[in-house]
Structure 1
Amino acid sequence: MPMPNKNTPTVRRILKEAKELSEPDRDIHAAPTEDNLFEWHFIIRGPPSSPYEDGYYHGRINLPSNYPLAPPSFRFLQDSGRFDVNKEICLSISNFHVEEWLPAWGIRTALVALRSFMATEANGAVGSIDGVPDETKREIARKSREFKCSTCGGQRNYELLCATTEGSSTNEPQIEASVVYKSVEQQSGNNSGKYSRSIENGSDRGVSTQQIEQTSQGICRNKLTVFVSVLVAIWAVRFLF
């Protein structure tokens, strides 16, 4: 597949994310395939304190041609005991819910949310599996590290993830799924102009807790300003009449 035009906002954004995701991370590995910038493969370590915590899970991401204006799709390429194999997963950060996606999010944010979501109940969601015993999930997790993907050079999951993290640790803040979902509600009123600016600025590291706190503080200040303005108006009316 020929290399896409690097001067488009979509390609610049994808290349920027690929560079940032090449940095060491003990829980997440993601990179575009050699022949398609819009197809990525990922490995996530199972979420802690769950039946999946010893697992290394391999999957595929497909980016739309207008990314990041539209969300990616996700599927797992191996058994996990939690998701169907090679079936797109319904998430609020996936192509099943385009209306909830924010262009300021990126692949890392989505994978952190997916990792957290893995520890929740399936509840019949598309692409999810119900009723798998925890002991079966633990057995699948123990075997998962040996999975080999031909697209990724036939290396085992364990080798691919550890190759980028040996002797290092990540400083990436862990964004829980609940924080990501909360930020959707807080920012769903943003207009498309703000979305466009986020693309040009290359903002793809997700919504941090500090940003959420700053937004909340700004809302409180706005409410206080309105309240004071109303009091001043009432006082002025009483004074004049």
Structure 2
Amino acid sequence: MSKINILGISFDNLSKDEAVKKALSLIAGKSGDYICTPNSVILSMAGEDEKLKNAINSSAMVLADGMGVVAASKIRKTPLKERVAGIDFAASLLYELSLIGGSVFLFGSLPNVANKAAENISTAFPGIIINGVSDGYYYDEQELSAKINEAKPDLLMVCLGAPKQEMWMQKQRGKLKIGIMAGLGGSIDVFAGESKRAPLVWQKLRAEWLYRMIKEPKRFMQLPMLFKFICRATVKRGERHG
């Protein structure tokens, strides 16, 4: 399988369908490993944080969640097949698991939000088994681990935001009785209906990031990181052609 290095992060060059297929294989093998889905902001963060970079590169699969990452791969003349948005990857994986009576444990967001997400996932994917929910704010590490190990989920959705989720998954790899865990940022909020995805027209224009900033002004605080990412990607392009 080909890997593409973008600013120090080794991405798996997979389509969404290929990524889901690989995830199902990892689940079947009860790997206990983890999947990362970095976007441009996380990539920029990793450029200044070696521990985060190591956590991402140590994962079983790294997917490009962001058109900025895909654009950077094209700038470097090593294009990724496509963007694999974390929420789309999660939905497709949940669908496949629902067909075989698979299970999922939700970890992240606020208590009421996580529970709402569990309800909505059960409705959207009737065959799925929700065998655990834990918010990402008020939890005891040992109690959480015991709860997860008792549940033995096929998929552990870790939605703590970066860099916390990546560091947590790296620390827990091999210690939990799970199929696979995936760092999926705000996916629990989306499944709960607390955070809306951009309308399809914005997605087709590849401007979902702009829509989210308009709807969530706090995201404008990420602009410096995005600017750094663009600058680093441009400099790397110059290095390749210099």
* Alignment TM-score > 0.5, same fold: no
1 or 2 for the larger relative contact order (CA 8 Å, sep ≥6)?
A: 2
Q: Give the TM-score of the pair, scaled to structure 1.
A: 0.28
Bigger Cα Rg: 1
Q: Give the TM-score of the pair, scaled to structure 2.
A: 0.28
Which has the larger helix fraction? 2
